[in-house]
Structures are given as C-alpha cells and as structure tokens.
Structure 1
Amino acid sequence: MMDQEQSRHERAAHWCVIMQSGAPTAAEKKGFADWINENPLHLQEYRAVLSLWTEAADYGAALDPTSDVIRLYPAHKGVIAKDADGRGRRFYGFFMAMKGGRMAAAFAVIMLMALAFLSFPPLGGGVLVSQIADNLFGPAVEPFQTRKGESRTIALDDGSVIQLNTLSKLEVRFSPHERTIMMLEGEAYFDVAKDPQRPFVVRTDKASVQAVGTEFNVRLRPDDLAVTVVEGKVMLRQIKADDAKQTKAWETSLSRNEQAVLSRFDGGADNDPLIRRSDDVPLEKVVSWRQNKLIFEAARLGDVVADFNRYNTMEIILADEDLADLSISGVFDSRDPEAFSHTLEAFAPVEALVFGRSRILIKNIQDNI
C-alpha cells in the first residue's frame, strides 16, 4: 500500500504503471477513477506522466517504461511550474539519474512534461468518472448487488432510476455513446430517462433490451428471461454466442402491458430461443415486489413457498411433497412468511410449526392423527 505522505506526482507514476503495463483489475480501475476525482490536478499529473511514458518507450532499451517510470520520475529537483492557485510546484527530471547520451533524451522528455502540465487547464470539481474512464481505459464499471430480503434504489447520473429486487446483481457502464446495464442475476425495474443520442441497453448473456425513455421490468432466472413493459416501448434482441454461428438473429418489440419470456434452452437443433409473448399482462402482479407484495392467482404452493424464501431468511419448508400442488390465490406481504403460513392454516388442511425465526414447517393435519 502506498504511503499516505507520497506526493501527487508519485501517485500519478504509480497509476501510470498499473494502467499501462497490463490489464488493470476492476478494483484498480475504480481506485484510479476515485483518485482522479479527489483533486482537479490529478488528471494533469497523470497526463504528464503518461506523456513521459510514451516518450520513454521511444528510446528503446536505454529506458524501459515499465520499470523506470517510477524510479526515474521523480529523481531530483528540476523545473518549477505553477498550480491552479498560483503557488509554485516542482517538476522532477532525470538530470542526475541518467548519464551520457541519455541526458539529451531526458531533457526532451522533461520539457514535454512541463508543457503537458502547463497546457492542460485545471478541471472543475465536477469531473465525471465516466468521462475520464472512457478516455483513458474505457467506461468505468459500477457493480450493484442486493442480499436476501434487500431491495435497493439506484439513481444514475443520467436521471434514470433502477430498483433492484432481492438477490439481484448488475453492472452499470456508461459511455458517451451508450448507457449499458449488464444484468447478471435476479430482477430489476428500470425507469429510463430519455436521451435519443445514448441508447439505454440492458444486456444478459442471451439477449439485450433497448429503450430510450420508458419503464420496464427484467427478471433473469437460470432457465428464462422475462421482460415486461410498463410504459413506452423496448426492443428485445438476441445475443448470439461465439460458438453458435448458425444461430439466426431475431428481435421483437414490446409495448405497454406486453411481456416476452425467453427460455434459454428449447432443445431445438438450431439453438433458437423459445419466446412466449403475452399482450395483456397484469402489471400490478409483475411489479408487486416493488411494494413488498406477492400476488398469486391459482399458483402452486411449491412455487409460492419458493418466492417467499427468496425474500426471507426465515425459510418455509413443506414436510410433504404432495402439498406442493395445492392451489394458492391471494395478496401477501413478502416480508412476513409467518403471517402467510397462518393464513394458509385457515384455508387448507395444514399445520404451520414455527421454529424461532429460522424456519416454518408446513405439514398435513392428517400427520397428527
């Protein structure tokens, strides 16, 4: 870990080596972007060191950028320049660190460094991480994740809002040309701010959903992907795998109250996805999770229990397999599995045994006879 007393130019050299000598990790990219945002002068420092790096590479074996940038910069006191506030600040050169013919090269490099510092005006405090990251190494990735029973509202820089359901995971990657969300797991509701110049695209490993200004829900499960439009219009497109060159590309548009469920595997020889469309979806049921509600209409008890267990650490267990096929209808609080179990006792021949705050065992009443 770098010493906290190290100066900005040493940190700039440190980050230059990390960002230029290999593939930086996501954590390193975030750390670099955070450092850039700490002070408007940091970007100037980095650009100057990057210029040095480029120049050093041109001198061949006499100066190896990867190993020598930090060692030679800074080395000794050199030129004095001015900060944005007018105070003096020293540039450091190679003059005492290099011998013979390398002195001329070092002098040229240090002058380029000074010009780089003086040529880039100080940036305001509102430097966007996405702009810096996109210019230097591509759009920054912001990961978001929820635990069991947790939901989270995410306000994005463009004015869009994401509500992330329980046990869900996604990544946000904004660039000047596209607003990209990589959906990795779970469910999310998207309220998209209009920006025709930058499409808003939600991607999974099998399909992408593109919108401009709209509201829609995406649920990603191991066996399918469900996209439901609440307002506006989206375009659902297939993403072809690299090893599936014969797979035919497809796309379908969805409008308000429409839903498409894409099955990952249909067993077909051509590996085309199986798509089920619905043109009149009960939206209140699909997005009821946003109000901590679960709505069921003639649903299997086994599926109802699975839904409750997604939201709660207090697990519901069916003691008898035949209970899984009981038909359940109603509106329930997703955070209260105990209340659901007692309601179930009133309408079905079952008994709910509650074990502290850890589990609820549902069993046939006949088992007590």
Structure 2
Amino acid sequence: MACKVPRTKLGSQGLEVSKQGLGCMGMSAFYGPPKPEEEMIHLIRQVFSCGVTFLDTSDLYGPFTNEILLGKALKGIRQQVQLATKFGISFEDGKVKIRGDPDYVRACCEASLKRLDVDCIDLYYIHLVDATVPIEVTIGEMKKLVEEGKIKYIGLSNASASTIRRAHAVHPVTAVQIEWSLWTRDFEKDIIPTCRELGIGIVAYSPLGRGFLSAGAKLLETLSETDYRKVGQPRYQNENLQKNEKLFIALCQLATKKECTPGQLALAWLHNQGDDVVPIPGTTKLQNFEENLGSLQVKLTSEEIEEIEAVFHVDAAAGGRYDESDNSCITSETPPLSSWSS
C-alpha cells in the first residue's frame, strides 16, 4: 500500500510525528493471547513503509514483551521512527502498584532502553500518576534523564489538569495521552484546554473505543475469553452493550452518508479536532491498519461534525471507561512538593 501520511508537530518542544500513530499494546497484552512475534514485526514494518512512524508502547504491556517486540522490529529503521513508551505501573504480588519515586523512574528507563535496544527514548510518559509522590519529584528525575540524553521529550498519561500544570512548570511537557474518542469525551472540559494553553500535544489512545466504533457489538464474537474487553469493560456488558449498539448503528448510518466506514468516520472526527491531536489506533491486522489510515482522507464540514456530536454527546456512552476497581487512580492528584522527604 503506497501512501503518504502527513506529519505534524506534537507539542511545542520540537517533536514531529506522523499525523496518525500506531498503538502496539494489543500485539502483546490485554486483548487475548500475544500475537505471533514474526507476524507483528512484519506488520510494524509495513506500517512504517506506509509512513506511520509514531509507535506507542509501555513496559506494562506483556509486561515487558511489547518493548522487546518493538526493539526487534525497529532494527535498521530506528532513526526514522518516533518511539514512545511509558512507566509507572507494575504488578507486585498480583496487585497493581503505581510508582513515581526517583529510583523507580530511573530503573524503569534503564530497563526500557535495554529491552527496546536503543540509546534514547523519543517520548517517555508517566503511565499513571503516583498519588503518593509530588509530581515535581517524578518530573524532576525525568528532567535529569533528558539532560543525560536518555530521553528526548516528556509526556503524561491519565493526568489531571492541575498535575499537568505542576509538571510543566518543572520541565516542558511535550504530550499528554488521554483516552479520547466519540464515546469518551470527558477530557474536553479541562484537560484539552489546559494542554492547548500550555502548548502540549494531545495523543488519543483507544480512539476507536477499543474496537467498538469499528465493529459494534459483533466484535465480541471474535474476542478470546481472556480478552480484557470481554471480561472487564463495563461498556461491553449487558444493558450497556445494548444501548451502545444503538450508537454504533447511528454511526454506521452517518458513515454511509459520508461513503466511509464507521471506524474511519470516528477517526476523522478526531483528526478534525485540531492539528495538535494525534490518534494512535492499535491493530494486529494489516487490513484494519489500512482502513484506519483511510480516515486521513475523510474531510468533515462543521455541519457534519455537529451531526456526529449530536449523536455522540459527552454522556452518550452507557457504562464507565473502567470498572470501579480500575478507576480509582485515573487522573489522581499528587501531594504538594513541600510534603516530600527523600
């Protein structure tokens, strides 16, 4: 597939990426068994050949195996790729642990560099904010990693507006990664305006609603029994699923009018939110990747955007993004710097 993917500035610190990226999580974790390594390496190479150079992973995915996969896939093309990874979430004794203390920050970065087999990480995110450590302390250690040449740019994921401001005051934040899609719009009130005020780029993960905005309820028929969406996603369960399927049917009708697929329309809506927005849809299939890339050709008028948003208003989706046990640490606040003693 020969194509030219436009590029865009992500944030105001100099990072330039492809206008659409690739989320690599599902290749190794959460969405059923890990996919065959050679197939995923081949897919990443094809994605690169199409002009998508912004690749997203995390030490959590696997854990660790997704970074190893990317390290192998990037042999020979590393300098032409913008590589993003994350730290901050670990599993200890079977329980999720959120950490942002300096020793942990540094140890995670060193370990990711080895797994990725690179000298420098382009964009390094805090995956979840540690509510016990002042954000200034975590960012302070990341700033040292920038000065040492181990990372180029700093990012935040799932952070509150006040945390973003505090972090940005210590070292410029290049990008904030949020779950943003037609059925997840709750960050539009404060997070996105804060990013735009500070010149921070916005990376949208799960821009297709974890696949629902591409396939609707029938997606569940294709998922393995261990797929996180099938066992732990409130929006895919029972009455919520029935209500959300009505949204998907409406999206299909709008897409038919526009002569594109529902997934392309959902991604096009995000692309039309501004040049500072970069969606990173994930996939393990070339066909799906090519369909997603086609969204860049879908141009929407203001009237069409209004029509879409009339269906997918801020509270349209039934069910939460996560169940209550997973949701407690999202956009957590951190204690004041004055409370910290190392």
Report the TM-score, using the length of structure 2 for normalisation.
Answer: 0.25
- RCO (CA 8 Å, sep 6+): is it higher in 1 or 2? 2
Higher helix share: 2
Which structure has the larger Rg? 1
Higher strand share: 1
Report the TM-score, using the length of structure 1 for normalisation.
Answer: 0.24
